Structure 1
Amino acid sequence: MADHVLGDAWRTGPSMTGITRRHLEVNGLRMHLAEAGTGPLVLLLHGFPESAYSWRSQLTALAEAGFHAVAPDQRGYAGTDRPAATEDYTILHLVGDVVALIDALGERTATVVGHDWGAIVAWQTALLRPERVRGVAALSVPYMPRGSRPPMAALRAAYGDAHYQVYFQRPGVAEAELGADLDETFRRALYGLSGDSPRVWPMLVPEGGRLVESWPRPGRLPAWLTEDDIATYVREYSAGGFTGPLNWYRNLDRNWALTAAWDGAPITMPALLLAGDLDPVIAAFDLRRLRGSMRAHIRDLRGFELIPGAGHWLQQERPAEVNAALTDFAAATATG
């Protein structure tokens, strides 16, 4: 596997004290991870288009609370290897990476936390390998049981070709747009899907338009987002690009086929959902029905919490609330 030179992509300062970075061989990949602290293992799985950097506040908070907090750059992202084949990014590969990372860290179990796509991986790890997961916490993306038909057919029936996940299916198209001006992409995406945006993004690509243009551009960055943060993501994606991350989406129908054996199986360990009430993902659901579905499929749902005024980048927008919830949940699931 190719070696990656990261450079100093993480800003320094008090918020980064105690965080170290290294590479491990994990499931055939050379995986970059950031970690802090000692104690029971808590894995932090990032979403799209992010990296381990998105967990900078949680790494230090969990370490201070007595945990070994580890945030990897997941398969295809930033400082981790990027397999060339699209089919090397299925949910079985992603769950396999989590299990192999737990092994590589010398542990048998972990509390697994995920945001956005990382939440999907966390839920699926809990479903497919429950003996390795003490507790599962998800930010922004609720548990969604396997549907009755492939996801792309369902999305096209509901939205036509305008839904962003349908747009992502064509190789080369989305990566060219997202990569054309990385500063503009991250400036608009991080603001436009946040609780500070003037509107909740409808998750659609404008007809005849561009995805990036569907996110408003901030006149001024919100308090939780700095120029250094944007520059960090720009540096990380300058090296790796978007093809690996987008390949996660290009396996949605394949994932549906591969997980047929777990159709109807429950999540058995303690679970938690945190989300912003202005998150476009949450806005797509009928909350009453969503709560009912999650309670029907999760045997021990400890919390379904919406944070007022927060958007999609929850752990970055509201670190204090997220840190408090995750340290409490990690303490409650420290053994098992």
Structure 2
Amino acid sequence: MQAQDLAVNGINLHLHMAGPENGRPVWLLHGFPECWHSWREQIPALAGAGYRVFIPEMRGYGRSDAPQDVEAYDVLTICADIQACMSAFNQHDACIIGHDWGAMIAWHLAQLEPQRVNTLVAMSVPFAGRGKRPAIEVMRELFAERFNYILYFQQPGVAEQELDADIARSLRIFMQGASSSDLLLQDRPANSRLFDGIETPNELPQWCNENDFQAYVETFRKHGFHGALNWYRNFERNWQKTEHLQDVKITQPTLFLVGDKDPVATLEAHTISRMPNRVNNLEQHQLSDCGHWIQSEKAKEVNKLLLGFLAKHFPA
């Protein structure tokens, strides 16, 4: 493993790298509330197969900068972080792999960079395209009287106060069970706090040992959750700024993976079923007995699918 800081797009981005320097570039983009270390099972597999692997600590996380302004976290700005990194390494042919919010960035990078992004892998979050109106408007209508964690995240400072008070506890609760969303989607009054009525789990999940867990904790120790939560505060801005991508389909060879116990598989079932109409060259797999943290929960299965897909469409 190597690491370096890159001055890109007005911020300092901390980047981890592995594999042969002349290997074809593969980018691993993490989601919330995760960190670069959430790809710990994929890094050696990809590097061992001959790829040059790039794992950024995304804007707002860990040793990368975390601007205070909400506006600094819209989807095109975050995409520009990765685009600038690719330019810094003179990359013209890359594979982008993303999970959760990282998948959202990967989908947009594929639209923005049809030449440089050769191959795409998205995990847990399907490609929905640009809706007829901002998703946050729909959420406010649907959850006017019930709790919704995304709406709870909207007011700067509120969720931070709860989550930052005990970072380790917050992360343990997020990791609990098949998925954090199992907890966050419980039917509760609209004025609830995020963890109301939720007990702190005594044990970590099987896929995360104590040393791994400390890497997650360390990620949020520097900035707290503010930068990471700001990603959620840009739904309307993202919608406004992506009008030019309205009709842009995904043309690259694409692999989509989702767990059968991931609430996304249920909540976004309609979107998943419609993806072949929007993604021209799509391979999909639903992993059994798997929740949201797919690359950790089912690492061997994910790696097998990943390496098989890359061997076919992006050989090392």
Scaled by the length of structure 2, what TM-score is found? Answer: 0.93
Q: After TM superposition, list the pairs within 5 Å mapping 1:294-313 onto structure 2.
A: 294-301=275-282, 303-313=283-293
CA displacement at 1:214 relative to structure 2: 6.3
1:146 pairs with one of 130, 134, 137: 130
**SS in structure 2 at match of 1:200:** helix
Q: Deviations over 1:117-147 (max 9, x none)?
A: 0000000110122112001111111111111
1:136 is matched with 120
Q: After TM superposition, list the pairs within 5 Å mapping 1:1-336 onto structure 2.
A: 19-38=1-20, 39-160=23-144, 162-194=147-179, 200-201=182-183, 203=185, 206-207=188-189, 208-213=191-196, 217-286=200-269, 289-301=270-282, 303-334=283-314
Q: What is the alpha-carbon root mean square deviation over aligned residues?
A: 2.0
CA distance in 2, matches of 1:205, 1:250: 22
CA distance in 1, matches of 2:197, 2:256: 27
Aligned partner letter, 2:3: R
CA distance in 2, matches of 1:238, 1:96: 25
**SS in structure 2 at match of 1:137:** strand
CA distance in 2, matches of 1:318, 1:62: 16
Instruction: Sort the Cα spacing of 1:95 and 1:296 in 2 relative to 1 into closer, same or farther, 3 A.
Output: same
Q: Deviations over 1:216-249 (max 9, x none)?
A: 6434333211122222211221111111111111
- Verify the 8 A CA contact 1:291 1:304 in the aligned structure 2: no
CA distance in 1, matches of 2:65, 2:121: 26
Structure 2 residue runs of 5 or longer lacking an equivalent are: none
CA displacement at 1:257 relative to structure 2: 0.7
Structure 1 residue runs of 5 or longer lacking an equivalent are: 1-18
CA displacement at 1:308 relative to structure 2: 0.6
CA distance in 1, matches of 2:284, 2:198: 27
**SS in structure 1 at match of 2:213:** helix
Instruction: Sort the Cα spacing of 1:109 and 1:67 in 2 relative to 1 into closer, same or farther, 3 A.
Output: same
- Verify the 8 A CA contact 1:47 1:116 in the aligned structure 2: yes
CA distance in 1, matches of 2:110, 2:129: 13
Aligned partner letter, 2:298: R
CA displacement at 1:81 relative to structure 2: 1.0
Instruction: Sort the Cα spacing of 1:81 and 1:262 in 2 relative to 1 into closer, same or farther, 3 A.
Output: same
CA distance in 1, matches of 2:114, 2:212: 35
CA distance in 2, matches of 1:214, 1:291: 32
CA displacement at 1:20 relative to structure 2: 2.3
- Verify the 8 A CA contact 1:192 1:216 in the aligned structure 2: no
